[in-house]
Structures are given as C-alpha cells and as structure tokens.
C-alpha cells in the first residue's frame, strides 16, 4: 500500500497527470471508470484564485466519485501561494499539489512553475508557505532541473520532504528540454534509492504502453507511474497496464461499442459541467483520438464536429457503432509526438 498523508492507494498506483485543458472533470470521470488510482486537476494560478478569476475558480470543481483527487496550484509568491492553498482547502480535495515543472514562458517569467528549479531556497519557501496553510497532504510535481548542467532533483526531493511534502512526482526531463528527447528516469531512480527519502516517488514521462510501464517499474523502482499524453483519448491505458502488470497478458483493445460508450460518457459530463453549447464544443477535440485507427472514419468525424445537438451526435454515434460493429482494432501505439504540449 502507498500512503500520501492519510490517503491510501493500492500498491504501484497509476496516476492521471495534471494536464491543462485535458484533465478536466469530464475527462477525469472517464479515466476514473477505467482504472486510474489518483487524479489531479489542471494547474490553477494562485494569483487567479485570489483575483477570483472565473476560469481559475471553475478549475476548482471536483466531485466525490473522483476521489482521491488533488488540486494543483502554481505561483511564485509565498503569500499568494499560502492564500490559494486555503482557497483550495475550502473545496476539500484529498491533497494540494504544487506545480514546479511548467516550462512555459508566461509561467516561468512570473517566477513560477519550473522557474523555481533555478533557486531551491525559493522552492522550499513556497512549499513551506503552502504546507503551513493547509491540513491537507501537500505534494509536488516537478522536473529533473532547469537544464542539463543543473539537474538538482536529488537535493530538491530531500529538502521538500524536510518541509513536509507527502509525495513527489518527477517528470524525467529538464525545463530546457521542454518535451524533446526521451524522458530520463535514471535520476528518478536515484531519488527513490536515497535511504533518507521516505515519501512515495512517482515517475512520469513517456509511458505509452503496458510493456513500457512494466519495464520502467522494474528498472527504476518507483512507487507508481503518472501518465499524461498516452491517456488522452485512450483512458483504457490504466486498466491495460494494470492487467499486464498482474498477468503479463494484454487486454483486448476496446471495441467500437466500448469507445462509443466512453464518448457518450465524456459528452454527458462535458455538457453537465459546461452546459450544452460549450460542452458540445469542448468534445469536438476528443473524437479524433477516441476513433483513431478506424478506416474511412473521416466523414463521420466531420459530422460529429459540426452537428449542434446531443441528439444529432447520438445519431452519428449509432451509425458508427452499426458500421464498425465487430471491427478488430490493432493494439494501440500512442503517438506522443502528435499530442499538444503544455505546462509540466
Ligand atoms: C496538454 C498538456 C497539458 C499539461 N498541463 C499540465 C499541468 O497543468 N500541470 C502539470 O503539472 N503538468 C502538465 N502537463 C505535463 C504532464 O503532466 C506530464 O508531466 C507530461 O505530459 C509528461 O508525461 P507524459 O509523457 O505521460 O505525457 C501537461 C502536459 C500536456 C501534454
């Protein structure tokens, strides 16, 4: 069993990575039904929360069926981080996560996200400010370091543990790499092997298949794995990895019926959370991934992204189910390159 403060997770938990514009309530609902053990909201600006910005406040939306769920904040100012931690605590998530990995310029220039990797003293102060401001477990998600010459994750891990964080997720890249090259998990393993480290260490970066999950579990000895891009449009990856870790066998790829059922579930939550117009609109960027691999799907996809009502979407989904019933999908190879990049 893995413990994050008073949160208890099964051995070797699978985590849905926080992803801006992706890990929202509708997508999380779908992942929750497909085997994920712990999820995070999209990152939320501490300044935005204090300003009561609508977009920031909406990202605070969490639901009991999602638990355990963490709310992720970012910022470079101690007081703002302390205040936003209290705002977050008021909506009662299971944990507060701090983003110290976002490589994006507009975040880094505010001294937030990955910027603090350049000054561990500041990182420690910001973390202390959050830990002091909430009774909830505080965790951190970060990267190996700012650049190739300053990979300081071993120091970071110990010092943040010493000020009270309850778990650490490490993306195996530096800020300078953004998403380039392969994620390097060797330093993540060194952090885990450090006898003074007692908190769970979760590895993150490029896990896109059950085989790779098993291989990285064996080679790097982390306490669990955090998955981002490979889950986009393919929430089945969590159960597929779990089944493979347990049996060494692959689950059959999801059938068209299963894919359409997940599309309907995602749409239902999208409309419920965002209202009809925005909810239907939001779904349009998800159909491609859910229907990937189907021959001659373009015409149907075009209709899905143009119709305006749930009833019309339903009609197209019924047709797709009928036309592709019994279609044998190949086992998926996630196209990580094609995924949009963002903060973390
Ligand atoms: C579209 C997108 C949005 C992201 N948003 C966040 C975020 O809000 N907070 C964060 O800590 N990381 C964010 N990340 C980084 C992911 O959490 C993860 O660290 C990264 O994608 C590497 O994992 P992967 O190889 O499994 O995708 C984002 C990544 C993507 C692709």
* Binding-site residues, ligand 1, Cβ < 6 A: 17-20, 22, 42-43, 72, 99, 101, 141, 171, 204-207, 227-230, 339-344
Token pair of 99 as six digits: 């983003």
Residue 342 placed within a domain: no
Would you place residue 172 in the very low, low, confident or very high pLDDT band (cuts 50, 70, 90)? very high
Q: Cβ atoms within 10 A of the Cβ of 160, count? A: 25
pLDDT confidence band for 339 (50 / 70 / 90) = low
Residue of 14, 16, 17 to mutate, ligand 1, most atoms within 8 A of C-beta:
17
- The rounded mean pLDDT for the chain is 95
Q: What is the CATH number of the domain that holds 85?
A: 3.20.20.70
Task: State the pLDDT confidence band at 337, using cuts at 50, 70 and 90.
Answer: low
Q: At 328, is the pLDDT very low, low, confident or very high (cuts 50, 70, 90)?
A: confident
Query: Is residue 102 flagged as an active site residue?
Result: yes
* DSSP 8-state assignment for residue 1: -
CA of 100 to the centre of ligand 1 (A): 12
Q: In which band, very low, low, confident or very high, does the pLDDT at 338 lie, cut at 50, 70 and 90? A: low
User: 3-class SS at 39?
Assistant: strand
Percent of the chain with pLDDT over 70: 96
- Kindly tell me if the per-residue pLDDT of 6 is higher than 80: yes
What distance in Å separates the CA atoms of residue 14 and residue 238, rounded to the nearest whole number?
7
In a domain, 38, yes or no: yes
Residue 121 in any domain: the answer is yes
Dmax (CA) for the chain in angstroms is 60
Say whether pLDDT at 342 is over 60: no
Distance between Cα 337 and ligand 1 center (Å): 13
DSSP 35: T
Last residue within a domain, chosen from 228, 247, 266: 247
Confidence at residue 334, expressed as pLDDT on a 0 to 100 scale = 61
Q: Are 125 and 105 in contact (CB under 8 A)?
A: no
Residues 272-299: pLDDT tens digits? 999 999 999 999 999 999 999 899 999 9
What's 271's domain CATH number? 1.10.1200
Whether 304 has a pLDDT exceeding 80, the answer reads yes
Residue 134 in domain: yes
Tokens of 69: 């769920």
Q: Are residues 117 and 243 in the same domain?
A: yes
Q: Judge if 36 and 112 occupy the same domain.
A: yes
Confidence of residue 52 (pLDDT cuts 50, 70, 90): confident
The set of residues, in sequence order, having a beta carbon less than 8 Å from that of 76 and lying 6+ positions away, is 110, 111, 112, 115, 116, 122, 126
**pLDDT class for 331, splitting at 50, 70, 90?**
confident
Is the same domain home to 154 and 12? yes
Domain membership of residue 68 (yes or no) is: yes
Atom 22, ligand 1: residue with shortest CA distance: 205
pLDDT of the residue at 191: 98
Of the residues 31, 102, 131, 136, only one is catalytic, namely 102
Mutation probe of ligand 1 site: the residue of 179, 334, 342 with most atoms within 8 A of C-beta: 342
pLDDT in tens, 221-245: 999 999 999 999 999 999 999 999 9
Mark whether 93 and 9 lie in a shared domain.
yes
Question: Is 80 exceeded by the pLDDT of residue 130?
Answer: yes
- Residue with the bigger pLDDT between 333 and 256: it is 256
Residue at 309 is within a domain: yes
Identify which has the larger pLDDT, 332 or 149: 149
Residue 124 has pLDDT above 80, yes or no: yes
The tally of CA atoms less than 13 A away on the side-chain side of residue 197 is: 23
Domain span including residue 127: 2-247
Going from the Cα of 316 to the center of ligand 1, the distance in angstroms, rounded, reads 32
Mean pLDDT of 133-150: 98
Q: How many domains does the chain have?
A: 2
Confidence band of 330 (pLDDT split at 50, 70, 90): confident
Would you state the pLDDT for residue 127? 98
């Amino acid at each position: 069993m893995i413990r994050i403060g008073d949160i208890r997770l099964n051995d070797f938990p699978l985590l849905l990575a926080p992803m801006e514009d992706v890990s929202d309530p509708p997508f999380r609902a779908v992942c929750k039904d497909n085997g994920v053990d712990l999820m995070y909201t999209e990152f939320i600006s501490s300044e935005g929360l204090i300003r009561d910005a609508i977009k920031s406040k909406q990202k605070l939306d969490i639901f009991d069926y999602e638990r355990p769920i963490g709310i992720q904040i970012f910022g470079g100012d101690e007081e703002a981080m302390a205040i936003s931690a209290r705002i977050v605590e008021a909506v009662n998530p299971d944990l507060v996560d701090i983003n110290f990995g976002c490589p994006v310029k507009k975040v880094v220039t505010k001294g937030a996200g990955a910027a603090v990797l350049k000054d561990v003293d500041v990182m420690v102060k910001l973390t202390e400010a959050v830990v002091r401001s909430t009774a909830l477990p505080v965790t951190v998600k970060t990267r190996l370091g700012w650049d190739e010459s300053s990979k300081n994750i071993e120091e970071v891990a110990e010092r943040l543990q010493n000020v009270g964080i309850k778990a650490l997720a490490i993306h195996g890249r530096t800020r300078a790499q953004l998403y380039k090259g392969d994620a390097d998990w060797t330093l993540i393993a060194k952090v885990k092997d450090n006898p003074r480290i007692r908190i769970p260490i979760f590895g993150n970066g490029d896990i896109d298949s059950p085989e790779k999950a098993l291989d990285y579990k064996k080679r790097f000895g982390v306490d669990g794995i955090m998955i981002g891009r490979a889950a986009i449009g393919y929430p089945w990856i969590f159960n597929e990895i779990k089944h493979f870790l347990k049996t060494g066998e692959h689950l059959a790829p999801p059938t068209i019926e299963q894919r359409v059922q997940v599309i309907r579930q995602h749409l239902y939550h999208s409309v419920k959370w965002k209202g009809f117009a925005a909810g239907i609109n939001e779904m349009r960027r998800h159909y491609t991934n859910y229907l990937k691999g189907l021959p001659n799907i373009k015409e149907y996809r075009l209709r899905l992204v143009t119709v305006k009502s749930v009833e019309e979407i339903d009609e197209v989904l019924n047709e797709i189910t009928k036309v592709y019933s019994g279609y044998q999908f190949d086992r998926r190879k996630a196209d990580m390159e094609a995924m949009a990049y963002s903060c973390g």
